[in-house]
Amino acid sequence: AQKITQTQPGMFVQEKEAVTLDCTYDTSDPSYGLFWYKQPSSGEMIFLIYQGSYDQQNATEGRYSLNFQKARKSANLVISASQLGDSAMYFCAMREQRSQGNLIFGKGTKLSVKP
């Protein structure tokens, strides 16, 4: 079974609008962390935001926020005020406590920002 599911292969958003990228996860480990990475066409992986399973508040980092709904096992990324430079692949990833460190990635969502 997929541990990280990103159901949107591609998304379009108008510049300056907000967009939500979906991510659901599956784990029986009570302790885990959720990450979002951005991968522009140049290929590098850029860390955006992190949410721990015991964090009480949703993580925020500038224009990025994570809508963490633990009971639903979802960790959606919200990008506010989209910019042309936000066009990229976005990957949701999970680290389980028992794994000792490796990240499990979803298949990604390609976001295109329209001027």
Residue ranges binding another protein (CB under 8 A): 4, 33, 35, 37, 43-45, 47, 50, 52, 91, 93, 95, 97, 99-108
Q: Which two tokens stand for residue 16?
A: 């300056």
Nearest C-alpha neighbor of 65 from the set 48, 82, 77, 73: 77
Q: CB-wise, 13 or 32, nearer to another protein? A: 32
Q: CB-wise, 68 or 95, nearer to another protein? A: 95
Whole-angstrom distance, CA of residue 54 vs CA of residue 23: 18
Q: How far is the CB of 83 from another protein (least distance, A)?
A: 22
Determine phi and psi for 96, rounding to 5 degrees: -90, 145
Q: How far is the CB of 10 from another protein (least distance, A)?
A: 11
